[in-house]
Chain A
Amino acid sequence: MRDFSYLRAGSVEAARQAAALPGAMLLAGGTTLIDLAKCGVAEPDSLVDITHLKGLDKVEVSERGATIGALAKMGHVADHADIKSRFPAVSEALWQAASAQIRNMATIGGNLMQRTRCPYFRDPSNFPACNKREPGSGCSALGGVTRGHAVLGTSEACIAMYPGDLAAALVAFDAIVHLGERRVPVDDFFLVPGTTPEREHAIEPGEMITAIEIPHSAAARRSTYLKIRDRQSYEFAAASAAVGIEFEADGRTIRDLRVALGGVATKPWRARAVEEALKGKVLGPDAVRAASLLAVEGAVDHGANHYKIELAPRVVARAILKMGETA
């Protein structure tokens, strides 16, 4: 790991200014950044440590929704009583992510800035070509081992999968990212690679995530996060689904439905086609399974990741039917 200078920020304003300088990066939990510095992917000249800032680690639930401070730890938010009761999918996405140790370090703001686990991106010495790391250098994943790569939202420049769990739940429930005064819907905060895979987030130099806001909804209250992976725990999703549902008074006709996918796309992936196909319908296995196929509309595989196109609709269907069972 190349050395860097270290600055402990005394205020959000000071942190923003220091991090706007060329070669500077914000340091929160460090679970992505220090790892990538060791891999030679991140080569910051200076790190601006924001973990000692006060007042940014609170979880506040009001009539409008939940506001989660950017420095709240993943583990604390997962165990928060109001998050568990009002936003179960958010709590479940968090406790199924990473390990207990990492969840005690990683912050909510930092979680949104998590980078891909693409093994070619993470290994610059063996794979110099990576458009995400070095724009225009090519993509080593194309023609490589693609079992963990995305099938949705890919481009000719990049097929790296977005690995996070939390963001799928946030996208499903229309969360809003607070960048100081500026507000960005979380679905717009994450960018598909297109021709600029190096740009992953709608955040400008000198901006810093200060909070995430999740509005209340009946669907968020009746929600779940279903994560399927190669091993039982401490693993990224092979495919996952954040699902929330609201029924009409009859308890079986779907009034509102939210579906977002993890583990299969280049960004947290809202599956609006599934939602629209089922709204107004009576919940039933056949209708749900048929509609869930729409989750992977337009999917493109690269050989070894074809299974994700089969798996994702089944995960979606299972999650929706599980939410229906509790009617």
Chain B
Amino acid sequence: MTSQTKTTIPVHLDINGHRHTLQLEPRVTLLDALRDRLGLTGTKKGCDHGQCGACTVHVDGERVLACLTLAAQVEGRTVTTIEGLAREGELHPVQAAFLEQDAFQCGYCTPGQIMSAVACIREGHAGSDEEIREYMAGNLCRCGAYPHIVAAVRQAALEVQS
């Protein structure tokens, strides 16, 4: 165990269209920066090891895990969190579909599910229930709301495509 002097580095972040400059230790993950430094607690910390998907956010429009991404790595990239999804107070179609289909119980995994579903539809991987299940597999729901989650993604995919 070598002791190291705690040094911080300036990190410029573009989150939901807002620019932030934070002074961070290099080891700080995007997830901890969002939650603990920027107060954006919609992105959840589940396992913190890339196994549950609760921390799913978009970087340059693609879904990634904020718990395994260093904040410093996304400098110069565009980050979208669940807080940045609704436009002018209007729910994103995937958010509306989750409400309509009752696609959650406790709700802890829901922000990650929704961010994942938005990207899943955009990728073109929501063509059938089977495909939705496969491409949403990285988001675990301990309550087991999967059938309703699949229904919500299916509904939103039809709305977005039409």
- Report how far A38 CA is from B32 CA in the complex, Å: 13
Which B residue sits closest to A39, measured CB to CB? Answer: B49
- Report how far A6 CA is from B136 CA in the complex, Å: 32
A100, B135: Cβ atoms under 8 Å?
A: yes
A100, B63: Cβ atoms under 8 Å?
A: yes
B49's contact among A3, A38, A100, by CB below 8 Å, is which? A38
Interface residues as binary, A12-36 with B (CB distance below 8 Å gives 1, 0 otherwise): 0000000000000001011100110
Residues of B within 8 A of A38 (CB): 48-49
B6's contact among A3, A37, A45, A104, by CB below 8 Å, is which? A3
A233's contact among B62, B70, B133, by CB below 8 Å, is which? B133
Interface residues as binary, B117-142 with A (CB distance below 8 Å gives 1, 0 otherwise): 00110010100000001111111000
Q: How many A-B residue pairs have CB under 8 A?
A: 95
A11 interface contact, C-beta 8 A: no
B50, A31: Cβ atoms under 8 Å?
A: yes
- Report how far A233 CA is from B72 CA in the complex, Å: 31
A101's contact among B2, B70, B138, by CB below 8 Å, is which? B138
A104, B62: Cβ atoms under 8 Å?
A: yes
B53's contact among A31, A35, A101, by CB below 8 Å, is which? A101
**Given A3-B6, A232-B137, A100 and B70 touching (CB < 8 A)?**
no
B116 interface contact, C-beta 8 A: yes
**Given A3-B26, A6-B9, A52-B76, A102 and B138 touching (CB < 8 A)?**
yes
Which B residue sits closest to A31, measured CB to CB? Answer: B68
B63's contact among A3, A35, A104, A234, by CB below 8 Å, is which? A104
Query: B125-162: which residues lie under 8 A (CB-CB) from chain A?
Result: 125, 133-139
Query: A222-275: which residues lie under 8 A (CB-CB) from chain B?
Result: 232-234
Number of residues of chain B lying within 8 A (CB) of chain A: 38
A30, B138: Cβ atoms under 8 Å?
A: no
A323 interface contact, C-beta 8 A: no
A10 smallest CB distance to B (angstroms): 13
A81 interface contact, C-beta 8 A: no
**Given A100-B123, A101-B138, A233-B134, A35 and B27 touching (CB < 8 A)?**
no
A307 interface contact, C-beta 8 A: no
B25 interface contact, C-beta 8 A: yes
A45, B137: Cβ atoms under 8 Å?
A: no
B142 smallest CB distance to A (angstroms): 14
B73 interface contact, C-beta 8 A: yes
A27, B73: Cβ atoms under 8 Å?
A: yes
Residues of A within 8 A of B114 (CB): none
B29, A34: Cβ atoms under 8 Å?
A: yes
A2, B4: Cβ atoms under 8 Å?
A: yes
Residues of A within 8 A of B72 (CB): 6, 8, 49
A116 smallest CB distance to B (angstroms): 15
A171 smallest CB distance to B (angstroms): 25
Question: Which residues of A come within 8 Å of B, CB atoms?
Answer: 1-6, 8, 27, 29-31, 34-35, 37-39, 45, 47, 49, 51-52, 75, 79, 98-102, 104-105, 232-234
Q: What are some 28 contacts across the A-B interface (CB < 8 A)? A: A3-B4, A3-B25, A3-B26, A5-B7, A6-B9, A6-B72, A34-B29, A34-B69, A34-B70, A35-B49, A35-B50, A49-B70, A49-B73, A75-B62, A100-B63, A100-B120, A100-B135, A100-B138, A101-B63, A101-B138, A102-B138, A104-B62, A104-B64, A105-B64, A105-B65, A232-B134, A233-B137, A234-B137
